[in-house]
Every structure is written in C-alpha cells, then in structure tokens.
Amino acid sequence: MPHAHSSRPPLALDLDQFDCWADCTLEGCCSPLLATEPVTTVLLVPPTTTASLLLKSLGLLTHNIRSLATDFLTHTFSKPKKPSWDIRLAMFISFFHQLTSHHHLGDLHIARALVVMPNMIPGNAIVITPMSFRVRSCKLRGVLSKMDAEETGRREIDGEWVAEKKVWNKWNDQMRMAKEEQKGERSAFDMGARARQQKKEASEEKIVLYLHGGAYYLMSAKTHRDITYRVSKVTGRRVFAINYRLAPETRFPGALLDAVYAFLYLTDPDGLAIDPSNIVVMGDSAGGGLALAMILYLRDHRMANVGCAVLFSPWVDLTFSSPSWETNPHFDYLPPRPEENNPLHPTKFYLGPDQYPQLATHPYVSPLFARSFENLPPLLIQHGDSENLSDEISELARRIAATETTHIQYECYEDMVHVFHAFNFLEPAKKAMESVGGFVKNVVPTVHKYQAQVSKLRLGNRSGAQAFVESAHLVPNSTPATARAHNRASFAPSFHHLSVPAANAAAQLRTSKSDPNLRKDFGTHHGHEGWGSSIALEITPWTMTAAV
C-alpha cells in the first residue's frame, strides 16, 4: 500500500477560541489533588539482549507444552469450559493462561513481541494508508495543561487510515467528484489572496476514531487491523486508528493527551474540518477506557464532543476492585489480578512511581469513578459475561443508565471473553459487529434528531421558569409530569448535546441469561410523530445479546 506521510504544518487551530474553555472542578484536573506520599514501585524496563529474550521465550514454551496438550485433550474428549466455545478460542485462552502464569519471567519486550491479535483479513479486502500529523500546544486545561504546554510542534502522532475496499472506493469517488466540481466552478476571481481568505468548508465525511487496547503498554493500530477493518465494513466509514504513546515510556496523561490531539486534528477547521458530531470514537479494553476518559474530559472542559462512542470490553477500573477479577480468570485469557510485585503491573506502568496509587481512581484514569455521566454522547457498550472486567463494565452501564441525559445501549454476551470481537470465527463476534453497524447507522441519527428537537425548546436565553411554562404549552397532550420530565431534559447543563434520557435502568441491564427472549431480539426503538413521544421518552435503549 502507498505510504502517505502528512506534510501539512503543525496542528493549527484557532487558539483564541480556547480561552472560553472553562476550568472544571474535578480534583486532580483543574483543581489540585490532595498531596500524598508517592509510592516508588516501578522503574523503566531496561533493554533486553537478543540472547536473553530467546532463552526466556524457550523456557516459557518448554514449560507449557504439557499444559497446552492437556487443555486440548480435555476440550476435545471431555467437557469444554464453556458450552459455546470453539476449539480455537479454547486453545487461544489456554496459550495465554500459560504465557501469563509465570510473571516472574515477565519482560516488557517479550510481551510486546508475543502479544498479537488474530488477523484473518483477505488481502484484497482492505486499504491501509499510513499517516502522521504534528501537534503543538492548544492551550488545554486541567490535567493536560502541563504536557500540552511542552509541545513545540515537532512531535508527531502516527497511525493509519483503515477502510474496507468498498468503503474506500466510495470515499475515493466522492473526493474525485468534489475536486471536479470545485475545478469546474473556479474562475479568475477565485484565485490569489481572495481565495486564500475564504474559510474552508466543513467536511461532511463521517469517520471513526479508533483507540487500540493493550493495557496501555502493548499493541498498536497495526495489531488491531482485523477489528478496524470490520468496523469500517459494518459502519461504512473510514477508520482513523492512532498510535498513542505507550507506558511506561510515557506516563499518564500522555495517552489521553494524544487522543484529544487526534480529535482536534480531525476537527481542525483549517485541516480535515470534520464535524465533531460525525465522529464516532471507538476503543477496546484500555482503548475503550481511554475513549471514555476522552469524552469525559471534553465534556468537563466544555469542548465540542464526538457524535457517539462505542466501547468494546472497556477497562474502566485500574484498581482491579471488581469481584469478577476473582471469579472469571479461569475462563478469560487476561491474566489474574496482578500482585504488587508483578514486573508487568499495568497500572504502575501507566501512572509511574509519582502517581501510583493516588491517581488510580482519577476519573480520567479509571472512568468508573467519574462523579457524573450526564450529558455524554450516545454510548454503545459491549462485553462478555466470562471476562475479568465483566463486573466493572456492568456497573459502569448501570451508573450511566441511571442518568437522565445520556443514552446507552448495553450488551452483555453470554460465555464470551475479553474483546471477543477479535475472534471473528465466533458467531457472537459477528453479531456484535452487526449491532455496531446498526447503532451507528440507525440509533445514533435517531438520538441526534431527538436532541435537535429538544434543543429547539430551550427558547434562546429565556429563564428556565419562563421556558418551562412555554414548553408546557408547546407540547401536545402534555401533563405536568411529562412537562417536568421534558423540562429536566431540555434545561439540564449541556456541554455539547443533550442526550436521550435513559429509560428504565433495570430494562437496560438485562442479559440473555435473565431474559432468554432477548437472544435473537435485536431491539427496536419506538418513534412516533409529535412532541408527545419525545416527552414520554419512547426512544428507548435496549439490550442485545448474541448467545447462539
């Protein structure tokens, strides 16, 4: 594939607009964190020689061959750990169990060399365009302010554009037609300084910003091509996958800063000029937690936010405090809860000795501990009930479902493990991707349409009391109760959009185990004409499972 290296100048944004960004009240962001004594627990990993790398790898392989053979025979001739498991999934999990069971031999360089994702993409079905862009200070606030101020415009963030071949062909045709139209309409009066003074038109392209997983110290955009390819296929969008800086070489909040820079690069009016509402941010595992941290940061500092977010098995509690870390390690391929002396402790890597453990519950580190999930873009969260992160994800979904202003579609897949989306030979993985396509193409536009309708009733700068009285008259068949519900949604604090108020939380948190009728029910939303349907909150999130 051709290598497309960006030669455009450093990220050039209208810095004057950033002065209106408000400081947040979050402790450890715009307000200082209470001082605590740092706990020195981790050092940068020293370089490993080739000889020692080979010796350690050989030792791991020799020690675990017997265990792998035992697991294979047990699955084939006895009883699988989970009834729906494919032998390929069973052996993959067995391999990772053996690989991670000897953490005393753990080495960062070995881990980065061995930890890969399955890749089963037909060679002629994907178009990959490597890219990079330079960044400079954008006057960001809070926890990002120090790192942001140090940017000189020389550093680059690299990544790649990934597109399914048909998606790429369609986009390429649209770009060619747009250039031809511009060329045909151009005249002598459009040339020179006058043309340069014209403001660039906003792009109408809809894209996906993807943040890869890997415990913040592993993997890359390249390792996740199987997922980003299928995301492009089901959404009909190009995927912008970045390589944010990894730990322990870069500590928090470096990864979060890179994610915010990527979003600003995409929305830069003098660059790609993509409408923020046309961007879907997606991520898996640590990337899912990072995506949620990013939209929390954008909301807290009153910046434009993405159109929606899709999170695959997001890692949202870096304290490892949920019960499923005790109950599910036998089934999941993730290693068990790390001991404090583990040389590959991911939270210690991510935070470093000066920030661990006091920042482990910071909401931009562990989004589960955010004080509020109000006024976020629509969210789709998917995970397996057999993964180590299951309890923290379900708790996150419960907390978001309890809000009045954030729409969530929550899906728990029976017998599935962490980021099962990577195993495309599994039927639930295919169903989950189908759900992603449906959410992005159908649900999100419906939610946005509702938000636009609600925004019209805010009635300019009028007081909330006056607006409440007038909105009660504007809504057909409204009762005092529905008018109050509508008023809460219309005039709740909002940083970017208003979101569909959550429906009954218990209904949203069902799984195929508690409600077998949901196994093949892909859900519908109830959209009726008139304002009354909006006030009755009939645009309803649903749970979809694919336990087939």
The per-residue pLDDT for 70 is 67
Contact 185, 258 (CB under 8 A): no
Burial readout 465-475 (b: 16 or more C-beta within 10 A, e: otherwise): eebbeebbeeb
Give per-residue pLDDT as tens, 350-388. Answer: 999 999 999 999 999 999 999 999 999 999 999 999 999
3-state secondary structure 69-102: HHHHHHHHHCCCCCCCCCHHHHHHHHHHHHHHCC
Handedness of CA 287, 288, 293, 299 (dihedral sign): positive
Contact 116, 223 (CB under 8 A): yes
In whole angstroms, what is the distance from residue 334 CA to residue 95 CA?
Answer: 11
> How far is C-alpha 222 from the geometric centre of its chain's CA atoms?
17
Interhelix angle 427-438/225-235, nearest 10 degrees: 50
In whole angstroms, what is the distance from residue 316 CA to residue 318 CA?
Answer: 6
The per-residue pLDDT for 75 is 66
Q: Which residue carries 């929606």 as its tokens? A: 308
In whole angstroms, what is the distance from residue 204 CA to residue 187 CA?
Answer: 24
Pairing of strands 279-284, 308-312: parallel
Q: Which neighbouring-strand residues pair with 209? A: 240, 281
For the record, the structure tokens of 38 come out as 């740092």
Cα angle: 531, vertex 532, 534; to 5 degrees: 70
Interhelix angle 480-491/464-474, nearest 10 degrees: 130
Contact 383, 396 (CB under 8 A): no
Q: In a 10 Å sphere around its CB, with 0-12 CB exposed, 13-18 middle and 19+ buried, how is residue 360 labelled?
A: buried
Low-confidence residues in the chain, pLDDT < 50: 1-20, 35-48, 104, 187-189, 191-199, 459, 461-548
Contact 393, 515 (CB under 8 A): no
CATH topology of domain 15-22+123-180+206-422: Rossmann fold (3.40.50)
Q: Which residue carries 């597109």 as its tokens? A: 163
Share in percent of the chain as helix, strand, coil (round to 5) = 45, 10, 45
Whole-number percent of the chain with pLDDT over 70 = 65
For the record, the structure tokens of 72 come out as 């294979």
**How many Cβ atoms from other residues are within 10 Å of residue 259's Cβ?**
26
In whole angstroms, what is the distance from residue 485 CA to residue 479 CA?
Answer: 10
In whole angstroms, what is the distance from residue 100 CA to residue 250 CA?
Answer: 24
In whole angstroms, what is the distance from residue 392 CA to residue 463 CA?
Answer: 40
Nearest to 326 by CA among 337, 314, 339: 337
**Omega before residue 118 within 30° of 0, cis:** no
The per-residue pLDDT for 19 is 45
The per-residue pLDDT for 93 is 81
Residues 6 or more apart from 27 whose CB is under 8 A from it?
A: 33, 34
Pairing of strands 379-384, 408-413: parallel
Collapsing DSSP to helix, strand or coil, 138 comes out as coil
Residues 6 or more apart from 174 whose CB is under 8 A from it?
A: none
Q: In a 10 Å sphere around its CB, with 0-12 CB exposed, 13-18 middle and 19+ buried, how is residue 49 labelled?
A: exposed
Q: Which neighbouring-strand residues pair with 134? A: 156
In whole angstroms, what is the distance from residue 138 CA to residue 16 CA?
Answer: 10
In whole angstroms, what is the distance from residue 235 CA to residue 28 CA?
Answer: 37
Measured between its terminal Cα atoms, the distance across the chain in Å is 38
Domain segments of the chain: what residues?
15-22+123-180+206-422, 50-114, 447-535
Contact 467, 490 (CB under 8 A): yes
Residues 6 or more apart from 105 whose CB is under 8 A from it?
A: 56, 59, 60
Residues 6 or more apart from 307 whose CB is under 8 A from it?
A: 276, 277, 278, 279, 280, 377, 378, 444, 448
Contact 68, 91 (CB under 8 A): yes
Contact 522, 511 (CB under 8 A): no
